[in-house]
Homo-oligomer: A and B are copies of this chain.
């Protein structure tokens, strides 16, 4: 679980704001779990509240609609995943492009990507959701690009570097789709290894 359970005796001592934040985080975590397990059409606000162990009243207070829940959940979880990746990358030896790409690839085959894909596909045919998703997609995409440039230590003032970093993320996006129905990890590793060699050549500024 994202938010560890509190022993009952502690709850009364937790300040109101902190308790509110904990409730929100439980709801957002439950939203992603629900999307992963039941898909977009099987996800309901009632089910999310139940899974989060939060009353319907509290759920309605924090996030009144399914759209509000999924938008907040995708944004929050994307930020959290990015922080985790950044922290894990700090433990890598420098210059290990392959390990950085592996870390990023794990984000595109994990629960968050699956949940996001459910929301994106639903947004395609639901105009209000789509309108709210467009700026979120731009924001998440920009942050992920920036994270990747940082982790690779890449100089993206050179256009080929910029394009190669973006292509890497688009490739990972596609590999995530190829992994939706069955475990594609063996093939994925080969593809990523081949691409990483090419990426390394583009990132290397020596002629």
Contacts and interface: CB of A to CB of B under 8 A. Distances in A.
Contacts of A63: none
A134 B177 CA distance: 13
Interface string A24-66: 0000000000000111111000000000000000000000000
Given A167-B171, A170-B171, A182-B134, A177 B117 contact: yes
Contact of A178 (B121, B122, B170, B202): B170
A187 B163 CA distance: 9
Contact of A125 (B42, B160, B169, B170): B42
Contacts of A121: 39-40, 117-118, 121, 180
A117 B121 CA distance: 8
Interface string A103-135: 000000000001001101111111000100110
Interface stretch (A2-10, A77-85, A90-98, A190-198): A190-198
Residue among A118, A173, A202 with most chain B CB within 10 A: A173
- 9 nearest A-B residue pairs (beta carbon): A174-B174, A173-B174, A163-B194, A39-B125, A170-B174, A41-B41, A171-B171, A121-B121, A167-B191
